[in-house]
Amino acid sequence: MRGKDERIRTVLDTLRIDVSEPLLEKLRTLAIGPGGLLKDDFRREAWPLFLGVHKKCKRRIRDGVLTDHGPEAASGTWAYQVEMDVRRTLKRFPPGIDDVTRGDLQKVLVSLMCKLLKAHPERHYYQGFHDMALTVLLVMRDPENAYVVIEALMLKHLRVFMKPTMLETASLLGCILAVIERENRQLYMHLLRSNVGTTFSLPWVLTWFSHCLDDYELVVRVFDAFLSIDVSTEEEAVYYPLAVSATVILENAAKILSTECELSSQHAALSPLPQSVDWDSILEKGWRVMGNHSFQTVMKGAETYRRRADMQLDGVAWQTPGLWEAVWCVLPFQGTKFHPAEWPPIARAAFFGERLVSGKILDLPTYMMITHSSALIVSLVLPAIVAGLKASDCEVCFKVIDDFRATLSDDELKNTKVIEKKFVDYCEDKKGKENRFCYYLGGLEESATGILTEVSKPLSYSLPTEKLCEKLKKKDAQICELRFDKQIDFKTVDLKKLKVRDLRKILNDWGEDCDGCIEKAEYIKRIEALKPKYVKEEL
């Protein structure tokens, strides 16, 4: 870590003279990387820089002295509540702190928060905000500088949490499940069926885990990463803690899956997870998760999750996957959003309809409408739509199936078992979206489920690619939602103009890393060196 210490110091020294975007980017990378920013001395300077408020922090930012003036008396709408909550917060203070110092610190914290809340009356105090404010105060030490940093957080990162109710926050938490759905479907189903909901993650997200971690060093290390995110859009600032929460759960998938699929057992298993994970690795993986799934798709997934969870709670016992599928299909049918790929199960939904009505999910008129119209829809409309499946509608499937088919000999094409084995081999070194495609089909070791026969059989009787992908789309609509990332044109691109995070993404997509790389130049060198291997020159 000594090397990193030096690097951070050098970057900060330069930034003090001139704030340049590439250097700031370097600092962001350091903050997410192992150990974060290492020292509070560094954090005091780096945090305001990340938030773009460094110019507002003037007082003794470098050495930071805990207040030398008596705090103002607490006042305002929230004063009583804030005071009560801060008084109850003991374990968050550094161990070994004496009662007098802690008492002073508590007073400073209360007046600081009251001042902030008075200055922003449209922001509502929530329990957990005090955990955030305390962490910042402990790092910044100077209350005025802490004020500046917390204020910036209130205006962006915590804005949603500071509304009069937590309704919007609750729907945001659905993003955690939506990420899990995209990474590990089996785990998602398990969590959904257990009715555990998302409340367990509320203290994680509202306090950036500070309410749940006992170790001060760990808390500020997590803050380093969350603060480092470039907040030119508010979305990313909100998304990172959610992606990290999902990662915490994904990393413990085996444990969760082996825990009884029941609300209280799941709640008890999930709640303490943050205390026992490798945070360096979690923060790094969470960052990559953000790159893999856009916030927009995850928000859509959260909405779907909420509907499914509501239905689940309404007491329909899900015994068969068929019924699940049927209901998922009927659900959007009631509303406006309805994907054609989900139509075939309507027939099945009609079959199960009676049970749905008895489960009070559907009222009778809706049920009648579905049963009477589904046959018509399936027989008339659906074929017309599906026949139009073009390569651009399902690009990853088209590419993989065409590529894979070309690797098989005529003899191999006769035996479905051989095809399946070959497909698993084929998938082994696939990256990015092709890897995802393999995962959905069950071609990877870590795949939750497999529908490999849906590929091997049609291939054995030479079904055209568009028909094959069409069939797969019916099995799993996600397959056609896969899109290749826009390819960077290496002939014209100026790597020096890309951000470090984009450079890391390029290496990540190639399945390469850049051990110990910090300087942008180092990343570029690495990419240039690897380019011949991954970038096919079109001559």
Partner 1 sequence: MSYAYLFKYIIIGDTGVGKSCLLLQFTDKRFQPVHDLTIGVEFGARMITIDGKQIKLQIWDTAGQEAFRSITRSYYRGAAGALLVYDITRRDTFDHLTSWLEDARQHSNSNMVIMLIGNKSDLESRREVKKEEGEAFAREHGLVFMETSAKTAANVEEAFINTAKEIYEKIQEGVFDVNNEANGIKLGPQHGPANVHPGSGNASMSQSGGCC
- Which DSSP helix (H) or strand (E) runs through 365? helix 364-376
Using the minimum distance from each CB to partner 1, give the nearer residue, 261 or 413.
261
Q: Which of 69, 98, 165, 409 binds partner 1 (CB under 8 A)?
A: 165
Output 258 or 392, the one with its CB closest to partner 1: 258
Cα dihedral angle (504, 535, 439, 268), rounded to 10 degrees? 0
Between 132 and 506, whose beta carbon lies closer to partner 1?
A: 132
CB atoms within 10 A of CB 47: 29
Q: Which stretch binds partner 1 (CB under 8 A): 66-74, 165-173, 361-369, 518-526?
A: 165-173
Shortest separation between residue 301's beta carbon and partner 1, angstroms: 20
User: DSSP letter string over 424-449?
Assistant: HHHHHT--HHHHHHHHHHT-STT-SS
Residue list 517-536, contact with partner 1 (CB under 8 A): none
Q: Is 272 in the site for partner 1 (CB under 8 A)?
A: yes
Nearer of residues 265 and 297 to partner 1, judged by Cβ: 265
Q: At what angle do helices 216-228 and 129-140 cross, to 10 degrees?
A: 100
Nearest CA-CA partner of 374 in 398, 401, 399, 353: 353
Dihedral pair phi/psi, residue 447, rounded to 5°: -55, 135
Q: Does 275 bind partner 1 (CB under 8 A)?
A: yes
513 in helix, strand or coil? coil
Q: Cβ of residue 265: shortest distance to partner 1, in angstroms?
A: 7
Q: Which residue number, 56 or 193, has a Cβ lying nearer to partner 1?
A: 193
Contact status, residue 146 vs residue 57, Cβ threshold 8 Å: no
What Rg value do the Cα atoms of the chain yield, rounded? Answer: 27
Answer yes or no whether residue 84 interacts with partner 1 by CB under 8 A: yes
Site for partner 1 in 121-160 (CB under 8 A): 124, 126-128
Instruction: Name the residue nearer to partner 1 (CB basis): 85 or 181.
Output: 85
CB of 214 to partner 1, least distance (A): 8
Residue span 223-262 as binding mask against partner 1, x where in contact by CB under 8 A, dash where not: -------------------------------------x-x
Q: What angle do CA 292, 297, 299 make, to 5 degrees?
A: 120
Single residue of 265, 297, 371, 435 touching partner 1 by CB under 8 A: 265
Tell me how far, at minimum, the Cβ of 325 lies from partner 1, in Å. 21
Q: Which of residues 91-110 bind partner 1 (CB under 8 A)?
A: 91
Residue 457: both structure tokens together:
């059989």
In the window 22-81, what residues touch partner 1 (CB under 8 A)? 81
Q: Is the CB of 209 or the CB of 398 nearer to partner 1?
A: 209
Residue count at the site for partner 1 (CB under 8 A)?
A: 42
Tokens 């390469």 appear where?
512
Question: What residues between 192 and 211 interact with partner 1 by CB under 8 A?
Answer: 197, 199-200, 202-204, 206-207, 211
The CA dihedral of 241, 243, 249, 252, to the nearest 10 degrees, is -110
CA-closest candidate to residue 57, choices 19, 106, 111: 19
Does residue 88 bind partner 1 (CB under 8 A)? yes
Candidates 8-16, 88-96, 142-150, 491-499: pick the segment binding partner 1 (CB under 8 A): 88-96
Which of 313, 381, 391, 521 binds partner 1 (CB under 8 A)? It is 313
In this complex, which beta carbon is closest to partner 1, that of residue 161 or of residue 287? 161
Here the tokens at position 25 are 């980017």
- Among 530, 519, 528, 526, smallest CA distance to 494 is for 528
Q: 3-state SS string over 12-74?
A: HHHHHHCCCHHHHHHHHHHHHCCCCCCCHHHHHHHHHHHHCCCCCCCCCCCCCCCCCCCCCCC
Selected from 19, 97, 167, 381, the binder of partner 1 by CB under 8 A is: 167
Q: List, as one string, the DSSP characters of 295-309.
A: HHHHHHHHHHHHHHH
| Residues near partner 1 (CB under 8 A) | 81, 84-85, 87-91, 124, 126-128, 164-167, 169-170, 197, 199-200, 202-204, 206-207, 211-214, 260, 262, 264-265, 267-269, 271-272, 275, 313, 315
